[in-house]
Amino acid sequence: MAAAAPAALTGDARRPGQHTWLHSMVRWLFIAVSLTFLAAVLLAPLATVFAMAFERGLQAYLRSFADPDTAAAIRLTLTTALVVVPINTMFGLAAAWAIAKFEFRGKSILITLIDLPLAISPVISGMIFVLLFGLHGWFGVWLREHDLSIIFALPGIMLATMFVTFPYVARELIPLMQQLGNAEEEAAITLGAGGWMTFFRVTLPKIRWGLVYGVVLCNARAMGEFGAVSVVSGHIRGLTNTMPLHIEILYNEYNFVGAFAVASLLTLLAALTLVVKTLVERTGYRRR
Amino acid sequence: MSITLDQVTKRYAGAPVVNDVSLDIGDGEFFVLLGPSGSGKSTLLRAIAGLSGVDHGRIALHGRDVTHVAARKRGVGLVFQNYALFGHMTVAENIEFALRVRHMRAKARRQRRQELLRLVALEGLDERLPAQLSGGQQQRVAVARALAHKPEVLLLDEPFGALDAKIREELRRTIRQVQRELGITTVLVTHDQEEAFAMADRIGIMNLGRLLEMGEPHDLYSRPATRFVATFLGAANLILARRTPDGIQMGANTVAAAERSPGVREREVVAVVRPEEVEVAASRDALSSGYFARGVVHEVVFTGALESLRVRLEDGAQAPLLAQADGDASTSLLVTRTQHEQRGFEVHPGQSVAIGVRRVHVLPTPLSSFTACAASAALTDTLSRQPLLAELAVRMKTRIAMRAEPQLGVPDAACAVDSPFVGTTAIASQTDCAHRAEWLLRRGAKDLLVVPEHAPVPQRVLIHWMGEAARSATLAVSASVLRHLSAEAVYVGIFPEQTAGAHPQHGMRELLDARSEAHLAHGLEMRTELRFGDVAPQLARRLAEAPAQMLIVGVTELTRFAQAFRGLLDGGQWPVLIVYRGSP
């Protein structure tokens, strides 16, 4: 017995070493595969965007933004985002509040409906608005009689963008608010706070990081949306072309520098969004 | 009175979670609501705070009816189990929240905050965030925050649940001290009986949404009125005994009762014997208390200050019956002994000992045990396993005895029965049931339960009595049954058709009298209904109106019993409990 015990011990002692060696091999293998994949699928195209944009030098790159149509496209995209994101933030807050705080009939239907824009193809989302507000749509005749244009105009673009981006804030807030529960709000109420005060002093600070994250995602999608907007915009240069649409047109006209210059701007906006998101996540974690 | 609850009822999805609770809490009193999880105690507390509404009844704080007043205007302080501190605010901001809401000036706020932090012994932690504090400190902050606006009432919802034993003890002392210092009326909700004993001026015990009993800790512990309270407040042995003029007869041995009452009717009762009131010794002569039975020790557990024994009672016709029906507990008696007692007489598993009982308390409940009665042994066995009867026995922590009566229901069978009926006799609901019921009642059965084959556990119990002599007994039995059911009680008053126009006030007064007697004498809250017509058909019609109903009916007269009750009992779908108080 006394002789057997140390042998068993050494056997046991060696095993963790082998384990670690194999473990690190597997780890490096996985990291290598991921990085290669990332480089091929993500970094290469990104690099291409900037390489093509600066193909004719910085002068040509800057000149392409001087084009009035390009400037109009940038303006349109920013205007759309500026209108759509706040509206969807309000909606997202309201929906998340309703779902997390109250029990009501049709709650699960509401949750499913919020996800709908994520599930259906953006082209279909655009078509819906054409079918509703287009010349031959349900409200088409009425709209023409009152000289209102929605399709192939700014309102149509905003509606389509709003439709496509409305899940983002709500989706971010619902699980967060459900997890945080009602106790703090109830405490505030028993301490004498009213509805608005409870919301601004207790609920909003509690969910602010989730909210910012949702807004950032919503904004990224609002600026980058192509499919739905393409259907409703009508591609009128200088009027109803957003940045993604304008890029396609420039590209089809073999204006590669122009196309990729705008694309690089869009990429930079997306990158900025991601930076904001990362900062938010870090701050959020530090606060916990 | 600081807090007055009057018949407060709260339902979720139709089922009452708080069922007709009436309660008065005095100024400066520390009241503890004690009950198992799901007993409705937290819901009741939230109703007092105004965080959840009530479906029925009234709530008053300091004489002001606040039933429909919003939570923010009730002026209560509430402390939650999980602290519910505002995570993004510092301790100072948390405590000053209620003052900020009331637009108090910064200087006054700071002064009040420092006063509160001193009260809960957290001076100097003003600028910390809640996440930087320990659980015990967070709960102290929560208490300070709840007291900031000088509420008239402090409500604590399981405030120590998430804390470990030592911190809990410390915080308990702090809260009791703060409460005494401020003289603030306080309600604490807990499921921990030790905590309730340690803190309460008065304890109210809840189960199944009902407030079963309330009183001072010592009274509740030594003189509980219900099985639930007896077994929930510490361990208890429930024993089926006979009450005689001399005392409490358990098996062949009579133990003098703590409360002597000469001239009492001899009947089966449920006796409570606390484990620490049981004595074991080598022989009968060595006992210093009244001899109870002999038994064999089969488990010895050392728990520090106390030693806990399980003693299996020796079988035999003379042996006392333990009331618990299920499993191993049915035959073993729980005993706890101090170190001093252990040194005097050491025991080990397998040892045969004589058992003595120092103190016995008899529950005032009129329902002691069930006896399943049918014409043959096989039928009694089937009856004893009927779901409703079995469920009632489990809930009431009692046993079901069997009794075969071959002559049961045989018309004018002259034979007398061999032995008296004890407890509640149960028979199956079938054709000719009314005749069987009358047969049994004429031979001495007092409480008779008619059990249909497929009856759900009742959600509503209808109560009626024919003849005033049965009123008190019917109410007592009803109160006892309802303590074990999550059901509402409805008294159905029935008057002959021709009096409908003549004396409506008379009927109303009778209903109100019944209600107030039920409440005062039996702690039973019941709704009332008024009907006109013949008693049995009206009751049958009322029973048919909704599913899951049960009838408890008091009877004083057996002439024409079978004819009258045929419609109610024969092959009926409803459980009916007949309370007979007349000459046999």
pLDDT digit string (tens) for B72-119? 999 899 999 888 999 889 999 999 999 999 999 999 999 999 999 999
Q: Does A183 contact B73 at a Cβ distance shorter than 8 Å? A: no
CB atoms within 10 A of CB B300: 19
Q: What are phi and psi of B305, to 5 degrees?
A: -65, -35
Distance (Å, rounded) from C-alpha A110 to C-alpha A98?
10
**Alpha-carbon distances of B22 from A210, B25, B75, B200, rounded to whole Å:** 45, 10, 21, 19
- Testing the interface with B: which of A191, A202, A206, A288 to mutate, by most B Cβ within 10 A? A191
Mean pLDDT of A52-74: 88
| Average pLDDT of span A163-169 | 91
In this prediction, residue B69 has a pLDDT band, given cuts at 50, 70 and 90, of very high
Residue B153 C-alpha, separation from nearest chain A C-alpha, in angstroms: 11
Q: Which residues of B touch A287 (CB under 8 A)?
A: 88
- Taking CB atoms and an 8 Å limit, are A287 and B50 in contact across chains? no
The residue of chain A nearest to residue B76, with distances taken between CA atoms, is A190
Tokens representing B102 are 């009331």
Q: What percent of chain B has a predicted confidence (pLDDT) above 90? A: 39
Q: Is the pLDDT of residue A13 over 60?
A: no
Which carries the bigger pLDDT value, residue A25 or residue A17? Answer: A25
Instruction: Confirm if B493 and B462 have CB atoms less than 8 A apart.
Output: no
Asked if pLDDT for residue A17 goes beyond 80, the answer is no
Using a CB-CB cut-off of 8 Å, the residues of chain B touching A205 are 86, 88-89
Cα–Cα distance between B189 and B159 in angstroms, integer?
A: 8
Residues 166 through 185 of chain A touching chain B, CB cutoff 8 Å: 183-184
pLDDT band, very low/low/confident/very high, at B263 (cuts 50, 70, 90): low
pLDDT confidence of residue B258: 56
Per-residue tokens: B55: 């479906």
Residue B348's contacts (CB-CB under 8 Å, 6 or more residues apart) are B297, B300
**Whether the Cβ atoms of residue B253 and residue B218 lie closer than 8 Å to each other:** no
Q: Show Cβ contacts of residue A190 under 8 Å, excluding neighbours closer than 6 positions.
A: B49, B50, B51, B71, B72, B74, B76, B77, B78, B146
Question: Would you give the DSSP letter of residue B275?
Answer: G
User: Which 3 state secondary structure label does DSSP give B351?
Assistant: coil
Q: Is the dihedral of CA A217, A218, A220, A221 positive or negative?
A: positive
| Residues in chain B whose Cβ is within 8 Å of chain A | 49-51, 71-74, 76-78, 80, 82, 84-89, 97-98, 101-102, 131, 142, 145-146, 148-149
Q: Is residue B413 predicted with pLDDT exceeding 70?
A: no
CB A108 within 8 A of CB A114: no
Query: Given an 8 Å threshold on Cβ–Cβ distance, is A191 in contact with B145?
Result: yes
- Which residue type is seen at B157? D
Q: B544 and B426 in contact (C-beta within 8 Å)?
A: no
- Residues recorded for chain B: 584
Distance, in Å, from the CA atom of B496 to the CA atom of B538, rounded to the nearest integer, reads 10
CB atoms under 10 Å from CB of B252, counted, come to 12
Q: Which tokens go with B471?
A: 């009123």
CB-CB neighbours of B55 under 10 Å = 13
Band the pLDDT of B257: cuts 50, 70, 90.
Answer: low
C-alpha neighbours within 13 Å on the C-beta side of residue A254: 0
And the tokens for B268? 């089966």
CA distance B526 to B463: 9
User: Rounded CA gap, B451 and B576, in Å?
Assistant: 7
Q: A187–B82: do the CB atoms touch at under 8 Å?
A: no
* pLDDT score recorded for residue B400: 86
For residue B444, which of B243, B247, B267 has the smallest C-alpha distance? B267
* Global pTM value: 0.80
